[in-house]
Amino acid sequence: MTDIITETNRVFLAPADYVDSDHPRVEQAATHLTAGAVDAASIARHLYVAVREIPYGAPDFDRLESFKASTVLAEGRGYCVAKASTFAALCRAAGVPARLGFADVSNHLATARVLDLMGGELFAWHGYAEVLLDGRWVKVSPTFDSALCARMGVPPLAFDGSNDAHLQPFDRLGRTFMRYEKTHGTFHDVPARFLATEMRRLYPRAHAAISAGEFRSPAP
């Protein structure tokens, strides 16, 4: 590992309740997925693709353990926050500092059903990750898997291990897809209890549909 890790950033190597990088399942996955990686950038690239390709699933705010990286790896699905948590946990387990970021985003290509349930295009508290590479924090969003992107008509978001890869601004036809409207800062762990309460407050209809099993994906 060539990156210099300062004491300030060392905290982002430590395990947390939801970014549970010390869980055996996470440690084993990190070892397996980074085989052959020679530096922090290649470790991050390997882990990014692996987490991105975990199928997107609707959030489960009634079950806080669904935010845990170990749960996402066991169940093989997750939504943006859970997948960001998983990426951060795998990076930490592999010795690369990582943290979580949150932002409100506008999603212009969601289905009419999703937009109706959400009450518009603004999706609050979208989760992404930041990883420390060459002494700087790089933003990545491993949210949408390739199969889902194909259904949405957007290319999968690529990450080169150096530059930010945290939004897909356009689809293949040049239509605006997603835009960041407001950032909420960075976190060591998922603020799971807050998110569960806030999402129920902001999106009561979407929460009811998810709880009833009527909403599983943002695309057909």
pTM of the model: 0.90
CA distance 130 to 162: 12
CB of 74 closer than 8 Å to CB of 24: no
Mean pLDDT of the chain: 88
The label of the residue with tokens 């397996």 reads: 32
Using CA atoms, how far residue 107 sits from 77, 84, 89, in Å, is 21, 18, 26
CB neighbourhood size of 136 (10 A) = 10
- 181 CB burial (10 A radius; 0-12, 13-18, 19+): middle
- Total count of residues recorded for the chain: 220
Q: Which residue has the higher pLDDT, 168 or 181?
A: 181
* Structure-token pair, residue 190: 């998922």
The SS3 of residue 205 is helix
Res 113 pLDDT > 50: yes
Res 217 pLDDT > 70: no
Percent of the residues in the chain that have a pLDDT greater than 70, as a whole number: 87
Pick from 4-13, 35-44, 61-70, 73-82: least confident: 4-13
Paired sense of beta strands 122-133 and 136-140, if any: antiparallel
* Structure-token pair, residue 102: 């949150």
* C-alpha closest to that of 52 among 132, 136, 140, 163: 140
* Structure-token pair, residue 8: 């300030």
Q: What is the pLDDT of residues 132-163, one digit of tens each?
A: 999 999 999 999 999 988 888 888 899 999 99
Pick from 30-44, 137-151, 154-168, 179-193: least confident: 154-168
Pick from 91-95, 153-157, 208-212: least confident: 208-212
CA distance 14 to 5: 13
Q: Model confidence at 88, in pLDDT bands (50, 70, 90)?
A: very high
Average pLDDT in the 9-25 region? 96
The SS3 of residue 130 is strand
* pLDDT of 1: 43
* Structure-token pair, residue 11: 């905290």
Element (H, E) at 185: strand 178-187
Q: Model confidence at 186, in pLDDT bands (50, 70, 90)?
A: very high
Average pLDDT in the 194-213 region? 87
Q: Model confidence at 220, in pLDDT bands (50, 70, 90)?
A: very low
* pLDDT of 2: 41
Q: Model confidence at 121, in pLDDT bands (50, 70, 90)?
A: confident
